[in-house]
Structure 1
């Protein structure tokens, strides 16, 4: 295994890590087997989140059987205030059954307003700094989907890592990764399979790991076979055949017609719809097989896709010329079908 540095944290990690979203649908025994297989395959980076329902807790139980000292553990919270983040850190420690968390991240920060709240006197970052001083966490990171937002903070932010989408189709973060690398900031790649839209996982992981600015990619895994296949990629010397190059071009051509990169250029919507989030939830519903979780999250949105009045404002701003209005109608249809099948 060719381990990589996670920025300047001093942590050495396998280039492929474990994304903890999909195990929510598994039972504890299967999670135990997967975590054990990670250990035997040399994959030592685990990423989860407070918002992934039972993920933290199941990972904690599984690690206690294998030995948590074999893993570098990252989790994250959507909390934006000091009190909320302080409580979430304690909950994560309890769930994960460890005394110190290697990396704690501010989860899915969308814009400068949220960032300002996090960094304020009573913001979440203060709680993270205190937890670090107390030895409860080692390092502090941030995750986001908006390249525009990240470009506004990347050069001066105090975070030690960033987590951002990147794959064969979603390449809008490449300039961010270069800046981060020069600053010594670790780069964690989420959505390496574009939320399940890319079927050739080996090819997509090879593409990601060919970027020298990437520290680790974290595909979700809920099967032992996936752990084995992903571990093989982590051990490869990366090179591409002409056949693979042709396949990557075909993937871009196929998905590029109606694939949301979550860049946020379509916002604000006059009706208040968070458009990228609608497509994110639809992806969890149709590609991750997380129906109950996706439906709950979708129903909890203040404004859903059915509020679209087809004004077309979003489509005039989309740099990828996506048929957003049609895609929003599909979101409505997919969630209606899922609700009817319950």
Structure 2
């Protein structure tokens, strides 16, 4: 497997990392099998977070005993130094390890710095000196915060959504990370499931030599697809280029990236699913979304109280309530025309 240097960390990781957010949706037994298969298959970089319910625990149970075989990243959503320290201790316990290679601030609305009054960066420095973490990272969905983090020189890694739907500003940001010798961890390489060709996505990302995608994997079939893509030519084929251009034409602009920073919804609407339903119906076998279960979820859109929590918290500036209404109208029309 191809390995890359993750910026100034000096960590030589597999080009394909494992994003462990989805394993929170699997049973512990299935997660153990999946994670061990990934490690045995050559993946040596795993990314999780305190916010991913039991993901850390499953990682610890599955591969904690093989700590020298892989690099580990986790995250904290703490906004105060004392909470940062508590989260780290919980992460270490869950992951069954004495240290985490990269500990990241999890999508803060600002760039933590020394002396900013939160105590966050000072706490990170303290535990780094104690050997509990090796490197300090930050994740974000906001381009301005990401650029500030790069410019600050305070961070060893940046994690940001990046795939072939990313615009020129985002691509320039990744190149800027390379210039600054800052490790770049790429989340949302499949844009929350809207990109369906893993091989094409990998081949496109290969042009960004320092970028390490963390593939969100929930099933063995998804891991098999990744391993199959690794065996293919990393150079984009003519057919893959056509598919990428078609995807860009269809998906450019006003679509939900499924980052879930609009949650929780007071009305109980599953926004990242409902606001993408127009695309899910057309980019996946539609029958799975035309069930009574999904009909009930879509009907909840009518319960929207227009509090604008989703709109105010969308890092991409989407008018989410309007997007939801459009998806509901389309869903009902589609359901009538294509009954299951």
Can you list the C-alpha shifts for 1:225-253, whole angstroms capped at 9, x where unaligned?
Answer: 22232234345552111111110011111
Can you list the C-alpha shifts for 1:238-275, whole angstroms capped at 9, x where unaligned?
Answer: 21111111100111111125324699xxxxxxxxxx86
- The alignment partner of 2:186 has SS state of strand
Q: Check conservation: 1:103, 1:137, Cα contact below 8 A.
A: yes
Aligned to 1:2: 2
Q: Check conservation: 1:108, 1:142, Cα contact below 8 A.
A: yes
- TM-score for both structures, normalised by structure 1: 0.77
- Deviation of 1:150 after TM superposition, in Å, equals 1.8
Structure 2 counterpart of 1:326, from 315, 322, 331: 322
Cα distance change of structure 1 residues 45 and 284 upon mapping to structure 2, 3 Å threshold: farther
Matched length? 298
Q: Is there any run of 5+ residues in structure 2 with no aligned partner, and where? A: 281-287, 298-303, 331-340
Aligned to 2:88: 89
Q: Check conservation: 1:4, 1:15, Cα contact below 8 A.
A: yes
- Deviation of 1:308 after TM superposition, in Å, equals 4.6
Q: Check conservation: 1:51, 1:78, Cα contact below 8 A.
A: yes
- Deviation of 1:183 after TM superposition, in Å, equals 1.2
CA distance in 2, matches of 1:3, 1:143: 22
CA distance in 2, matches of 1:104, 1:70: 18
Cα distance change of structure 1 residues 39 and 153 upon mapping to structure 2, 3 Å threshold: closer
Q: Please give the residue correspondences for 1:169-318 in structure 2 after superposition, counting only pairs within 5 Å.
A: 169-171=165-167, 172-214=169-211, 216-234=212-230, 236-256=232-252, 258-260=254-256, 282-283=271-272, 306-308=306-308
CA distance in 2, matches of 1:305, 1:240: 46
Cα distance change of structure 1 residues 29 and 277 upon mapping to structure 2, 3 Å threshold: closer
- The alignment partner of 2:175 has SS state of helix
Q: Please give the residue correspondences for 1:66-215 in structure 2 after superposition, counting only pairs within 5 Å.
A: 67-110=66-109, 114-116=110-112, 120-171=116-167, 172-214=169-211
- Deviation of 1:16 after TM superposition, in Å, equals 0.7
Can you list the C-alpha shifts for 1:45-94, whole angstroms capped at 9, x where unaligned?
Answer: 000000000100111111135x1221101000111211000100100000
Cα distance change of structure 1 residues 331 and 57 upon mapping to structure 2, 3 Å threshold: farther
Can you list the C-alpha shifts for 1:109-130, whole angstroms capped at 9, x where unaligned?
Answer: 22xxx32577625421111111
- Deviation of 1:141 after TM superposition, in Å, equals 0.3
Aligned to 2:335: none
CA distance in 1, matches of 2:219, 2:76: 26
- TM-score for both structures, normalised by structure 2: 0.77
Q: Is there any run of 5+ residues in structure 1 with no aligned partner, and where? A: 264-273, 296-303, 335-342
- The alignment partner of 1:145 has SS state of coil
- Deviation of 1:157 after TM superposition, in Å, equals 3.2
CA distance in 2, matches of 1:261, 1:151: 20
Q: Please provide the CA RMSD for this pair.
A: 3.4
- The alignment partner of 2:160 has SS state of strand
- The alignment partner of 1:85 has SS state of helix
Aligned to 2:51: 51
CA distance in 2, matches of 1:154, 1:221: 28
